[in-house]
Amino acid sequence: VCSDQSYQKLLDDFGSYSPKVNVDTEYTNNDNLDEIHREAVLSQSNGQVYLLDYGLASKFVDSQGNHKDFGMDARKAHDGTLEYSSRDSHIGAHSRRSDLETLGYNLLDWLTGMLPWKTPEVLAEPDLVHALKKNFMADKKLLLKTCFKTEFYPQFLEKYLDYVTSLDFTEKPDYEYCKSLFKSELLKLGCVLEQQMNVKFTDPLRPALKQKLHYSRKFGRKNAPQDFLTRNGITKPFERENLCSFE
């Protein structure tokens, strides 16, 4: 957050960040997630970057310090900003891997300005958002090619997403490994680590992109286009009660 301007507002007004800034942001965010997880609280949360908003934070360990078992909770299903919610979050099951997945979606959006499910019609249907995430995370090469609109994309992103999907629900993420991916990319981009991050937009001022919307309120339960399911390889409706872990 820069002063009273949100990250999304700056993106809408000025365009995307350079890869160097995005990876530097990701590198710092991973440190913050590690610190938050050590306090046994999940969240999008001192350094150059702050992760804020504890409104949907949840404990992932019990009073004895044991990780909570996997369990779907319809009351918490689809919580948070749909564009970036993890697949687990869509079914009300939260653990540390969820935060890393959300971080991955954010970085993709910052770098490319798009996610395959980031349209008003799709975001009006949370189950469709979840279904698309499951489909694309099962084929991360396709996800990256779709977002970057080319077969050439940063390899560290694929390695990061591969690692995220390899995590078990109760497994503690290897934050040092994640940081090493970002650190390696920063060095390739000529970034001097441990310096204060200098955030600059690389694109000239341009007309604002689509504003961030509260889709559930603005569009209600609008039906998706008739051929939407077929076009996206979804062969049957995804009912919330039938959703299960993405293992």
pLDDT in tens, 64-118: 778 877 777 777 788 788 999 999 989 988 888 988 999 999 999 999 999 999 9
Write the DSSP assignment of 124-155 as a string of letters: T-HHHHHHHHHHHHTSHHHHHHHHHTSS---H
Least confident of 15-19, 118-122, 175-179: 15-19
DSSP string, 172-213: PP-HHHHHHHHHHHHHHTT--TTSPP---B-SPP----PPP-
Q: Mean pLDDT over residues 139-163, rounded?
A: 95
Helix (H) / strand (E) containing 58:
strand 58-59
Overall average pLDDT of the 35-44 stretch? 47
> What's the CATH number for 17-57+79-228?
1.10.510.10
Cα 227 from Cα 247, distance rounded (Å): 28
Nearest to 107 by CA among 166, 148, 57: 148
Q: What is the dihedral of CA 71, 73, 74, 79, to 10 degrees?
A: -110
The domain locations on the chain are 17-57+79-228
